[in-house]
Structure 1
């Protein structure tokens, strides 16, 4: 069984186009820029695909995010670090035990407020809430088998 990643980016016309993972990896590790993304925030669909063959592969994870590029066309390292910090901060409240009746929560209320604020900031800066047609377009490009096996739309009956 193989596991691989695929990326789609929204181009200036609003269409989703493939971005080879090797190109994104080089822009992320600082070895080769993507000049056409220089200074831009790009909406990205990131997919993890699992399967034996591409014909039998399925999308197992799908994320719609915003990715920032610096003026040279490399992935903006400061923005990436901020995203990671916000992700870690958004989990701060998971360190608290579940609330029990009569149990003192101590610092947990503070951690909960910080986590909620971090999640809100993460969504504002790095989240992309795709429209239904954008989500469908991404799935059809990344996992056409899922659309073929989806239940058909209900047909109205006449009485």
Structure 2
């Protein structure tokens, strides 16, 4: 794979182990990598250096990566952003793309998946399609209806024709894997 010489990439994630692994992988591919552990560090880095790419986590400690996307684009209009998350839902994917993200990937995503999401691989259409499980589809539907009801659990339970306590138990669980 031939990439333009020394593309700069900004990794924005509070998981130091993830950023260390991704940083090494991108550096082996010839990328110049900078790491930010929160929004303030990301904005400081983008003020100091021009980046062609950014990988932004949806949840950065107590911050939302969604709020960072427009700030990064405002600082550098030509930056390509891929959002990564371990808590994916259709609602957040649509929101990320509306805010300017190029793509949205679920963790664990490997280097090849990320390169394909940026279009830096030889076959960008080859992003693996992994069907969601029924449990995962239920969780995403609940998140969508909850978002439509402004996070009102009682209204969401009524809309889903579900007992409120049952809905609360489902919401307390982490999202199910694909």
TM bin, normalised by shorter chain, reads under 0.3
Query: Higher helix proportion, which one?
Result: 2
Structure having the higher Rg:
1
Query: Higher strand proportion, which one?
Result: 1
